[in-house]
Structure 1
Amino acid sequence: MDQTNILDAPKVYSDLVSKSKEVGFTMPSDLYIGTLLKTLVASKRGGSFLELGTGMGLSLAWILDGMDKDSCAISLDNDGDLIDIAKEFFHKEARLKLFCCDGEVWLKEYTGDGFDLIFADAWPGKYSTLDKALSMVNMGGYYVIDDMKKQPNWPDGHEELAKSLVDILEKREDFVLTKMDWSTGVIVAVKIK
């Protein structure tokens, strides 16, 4: 098996990669997390999806590519410049709502329906407001995080923070989780209670 042989990348993906290099965006999600997100999203027909940390939209491209016509997604980031770039690429996407806001505030104020998948690729929903994010996952839905293996750009103390997050997730009885030492280090959790 050759995991590098990816035949179904979103049409916009290579343009997003080029744009990220052009603007010097140094925190793109790994290609493999994109393929995983697309697969998980495809399992939830008519689903509702939340991405915390849009960045330039690299992972979002995969999420949208996995969605059917009856699905919808919300993606948010606190960087207006990045959201503006994402809007350039996804402005015709009626299934998507993009927000430039503080993710922690958004999570605390959100009172709508739950989500079939939450991809927490930012501090909010991962290292802060974790309980709120997990409460928003529908039964049988996925909670996905990446960057759980030590990264060269991690500040001092972040490795301990990541280990603490893993400990917290392992102790929860309302989720079943798989930790994968793959890509940038991925955890996929499924809500069971």
Structure 2
Amino acid sequence: MDDSPQRFPATLPVLRAAALDAGFAMSCDERTGSLLTVLAAACPGGRVLELGTGVGEGTAWLLDGMDAASHLVSVELDAAVQAIARAELDDTRVTFVTGDGGEWLESYDGPPFDLVFADTWPGKFTHLERALELVVPGGMYLIDDLLPQPNWPDGHGAAVDRLLAELAERDDFRTVRLSWSTGLLVAARVG
């Protein structure tokens, strides 16, 4: 069976070209993106949080699955790469936040989210507890890049192992690991 996506966001080619021009090599894998679209579509009228906008490829996949009543908050530290997303994804359903994801998580006092996609260190390797607190009961938490990547720093594999072990021990989430795409974990909040 071919597991490549059959449908792509219309903005994806422009975002990919912009990422290449900017030298940005950490964009969302298209299989992960296709899962993001499905998860966002499963939350009609939902609230979605993306930690790590990058140039907006993951954002485009999320928007592709969201209905008109859904809203996405996308947080990115690097203003230059997020500027690409802001320019190409002119969509009233998304609010872009430029700043440190950890600081944003610490200060956020709004309503929780139906889907949290942690595609950067904050919300995954730091501030994990806070990110999980922001998932509504029945909501989903998704992380990627759990299989060895060429850009991993020394010792990062041990950090991934610790993260996976910590998530597996939680009673308030049910998790599934997928050796697919870049290595994913999907968790559903049960409590």
> So what's the TM-score if we normalise by structure 2?
0.98
The residue type equivalent to 2:3 in the other structure is Q
Deviations 1:76-106 (A, max 9, x none): 100010111111111x301110011011000
Superposition deviation, residue 28 in structure 1: 1.1
The residue type equivalent to 1:2 in the other structure is D
Whether 2:135 is the aligned partner of 1:137: answer yes
> Where has structure 1 moved over 3 Å in runs of 4 or more?
none
Measured in 2, the distance between the counterparts of 1:49 and 1:41 equals 7
Measured in 1, the distance between the counterparts of 2:186 and 2:159 equals 18
Instruction: Provide the aligned C-alpha RMSD in A.
Output: 0.7
Secondary structure in 2 aligned to 1:179? Answer: strand
Measured in 1, the distance between the counterparts of 2:43 and 2:27 equals 25
For structure 2, the residue ranges without an aligned partner over 5 or more in a row are: none
2:87 is aligned to 88
1:176 is aligned to 174
Q: Is the Cα contact below 8 Å between 2:54 and 2:76 reproduced in 1?
A: yes
Superposition deviation, residue 7 in structure 1: 2.7
Query: Quick one: percent identity of the two aligned structures?
Result: 42
Measured in 1, the distance between the counterparts of 2:6 and 2:177 equals 25
Secondary structure in 2 aligned to 1:119? Answer: strand
Superposition deviation, residue 19 in structure 1: 1.1
1:3 is aligned to 3
Measured in 2, the distance between the counterparts of 1:165 and 1:25 equals 26
Whether 2:33 is the aligned partner of 1:37: answer no
The residue type equivalent to 2:164 in the other structure is V
Q: Is the Cα contact below 8 Å between 2:132 and 2:141 reproduced in 1?
A: yes
> So what's the TM-score if we normalise by structure 1?
0.97
Whether 2:189 is the aligned partner of 1:191: answer yes
Whether 2:54 is the aligned partner of 1:55: answer yes
Superposition deviation, residue 134 in structure 1: 0.1
Secondary structure in 1 aligned to 2:149? Answer: coil
Measured in 2, the distance between the counterparts of 1:87 and 1:158 equals 31
Measured in 2, the distance between the counterparts of 1:142 and 1:14 equals 28
Deviations 1:116-164 (A, max 9, x none): 0000000100011100000000111100000001111100010000000
Q: Is the Cα contact below 8 Å between 2:105 and 2:130 reproduced in 1?
A: yes
The residue type equivalent to 1:18 in the other structure is A
Residues paired across the two proteins, number: 191
Q: Is the Cα contact below 8 Å between 2:36 and 2:62 reproduced in 1?
A: yes
